[in-house]
Amino acid sequence: MKRSRGRPRHDDVLTPAEWRTLHGVRHGFTNAQIAARTGISRDAVKYHVANIVAKLDVTDRRALKLWRGYPKTHPFVAREDEPMAREVSLNNVGQIARHVKEIGASTAFYRDVVGLPLLYEFDKLAFFDMNGLRLMLEETRKVENESVIYFTVDDIDASYSGLIDRGASFVSAPHLIHRHEDGVEEWMAFFEDPEARLLGLMSRRKRSAD
């Protein structure tokens, strides 16, 4: 009997590498940014995006941002015998984001001068604790005065559904933005206010490794 060649077919709609790429697309990252975050080449990112578009039968990158789906083992995935919850339950403001020109200098300022406890940092991001409210600094070429307000939610999928029912306009479906070493994942989704300023949903859930 002949053995099949290549990797075995993955039992989810997307492979783990494709999920990581899709999360980056849904968060608004460019191919270069996704490549830097995931440690692969830009060509590999393009290859994954093309495969994802074909598998999901969507038209373009914008459609990918709004595609709603989760890895099959994720706790957000409801069991077949459970009805889909659609209740909106916003808790408190969990995070405020600010753009900075140089992450190192700004991290030192908020940590050493302002005196905020540094929680953790990765890529061009730094997170501080402001008595339970999280401040996120992000290095970017264009520094804007607007801040993004993030609302914490227990069930990001239910809140996403409920806000859509209320008429909210989302620019991205719920997606994974970071997995901590202890297995806790941070998921986010973004919608717009009447002036097209971003508001975010954020939810922390723990799942088993892929």
Q: Which two tokens stand for residue 45?
A: 């990112």
Report the CATH fold assignment for 90-206. 2,3-Dihydroxybiphenyl 1,2-Dioxygenase; domain 1 (3.10.180)
pLDDT class for 196, splitting at 50, 70, 90?
confident
Inter-CA distances, 27 with 19, 61, 77, 139, Å? 12, 11, 20, 16
Contact 207, 183 (CB under 8 A): yes
Best CA proximity match to 199, nearest among 63, 95, 68, 76: 95
83 or 158, which is more confident? 158
Mean pLDDT highest for which of 44-48, 152-156, 202-206?
Answer: 44-48
Write down the CATH number for the domain with range 16-66. Answer: 1.10.10.10
Q: How far is residue 122's CA from residue 8's CA, in Å, rounded to a whole number?
A: 33
Q: What is the mean pLDDT of residues 137-143?
A: 82
> For residue 13, how many other CB atoms are within 10 A of its CB?
14
Average pLDDT over residues 169-188: 90
98-128 per-position pLDDT tens digit: 888 889 998 998 898 878 899 999 888 999 9
Lookup result for tokens 């804007």: 144
Q: Can you give the residue ranges of every domain in the chain?
A: 16-66, 90-206
Q: Please state the rounded mean pLDDT for residues 168-192.
A: 90
Q: Per-residue pLDDT tens for 152-170? A: 888 899 989 988 888 888 9
Which residues pair with residue 137 across a beta bridge? Answer: 98, 126
Task: Give the residue among 51, 68, 61, 54 at the shortest CA–CA distance from 29.
Answer: 61
Hey, how many other C-beta atoms are within 10 angstroms of the C-beta on 209? Answer: 7
Strands (E), the chain: 90-100, 118-122, 125-130, 133-139, 148-153, 169-179, 184-192, 198-206
